[in-house]
Structure 1
């Protein structure tokens, strides 16, 4: 069975969250170029399970570590900007319960990171399916 390029474009993402004063909060980061709010994501890594790759992205982009679930919460699609065109990308999202925020990490200073209440986080992101995943988080915690 041959794979189409569309099927190959899949990414992994972490949905970092914490429970503070009984409320679930979600950590969003800004993209480097457009500064819009999103969750830490990247390409699968050779030799790493998808959820472990998602955890690595959270550490590099948001400076957080914690327990990540091996099963995705779900997925969303977005248009990945390329030099001359856009590619449709599917992103599998893994919930990450943050236990540690690092003082220094790889992309510190390149992105903003901010904690939001669940509904507020859902309103900040552009992709409706990602907003739905964020809203569904409390049922999975």
Structure 2
């Protein structure tokens, strides 16, 4: 009886209880620096380096929501977006209470034209410019490491 229940659980019931990953959007902000292409990283609430990212926003397209996150978290005042996500990866959203959920993160590239010194989360976040290969070394998430490594090519 137990093996029949296990078979039923694995084959038919378990997929019904498994949720797809939540969706987040991220901004891969880049510019041409003295040594070549640089990407913008911002610190998370736990101090990790990440791309500006967040949840979709009602009334905005995914790329518009990513641009809003770039402004709020990184102070990107003017940028030219690519309307198509360059890549997506499966990452994890870590909440302040310790909860972790899987997320599909769609990454939109933005060519940065202007940064602001003052922006909504300036007091809570650090930001830095790094080459894509250096940025890939600094981030924790394997999927984001791959996106940054691919951007470096």
**TM-score in terms of structure 2 length:** 0.82
| Corresponding residue of 1:115 | 129
Deviation at 1:25, TM superposition (A): 0.3
Assess, with a 3 A threshold, how the Cα gap between structure 1 residues 86 and 54 changes in structure 2: closer, same or farther. same
- The aligned counterpart of 1:129 is 143
Task: Tell me which structure has the larger Cα radius of gyration.
Answer: 2
Equivalent residue for 1:73, pick from 79, 86, 103: 86
Structure 1 segments (4+ residues) deviating >6 Å? none
* RMSD (Å) for aligned C-alpha atoms: 1.9
State the partner residue of 2:6: none
Task: Select the structure that is richer in helix.
Answer: 2
Alpha-carbon distance in structure 2 between the residues aligned to 1:93 and 1:123: 18
Normalised to the residue count of structure 1, the TM-score between the two structures is 0.88
CA contact under 8 A between 2:63 and 2:81: conserved in structure 1? yes
Change (3 A) 1:117 1:8: closer
Tell me what 1:29 maps to. 42
Unmatched segments (≥5 aa) in structure 1: none
Instruction: Measure how far apart 1:131 and its partner are.
Output: 1.0
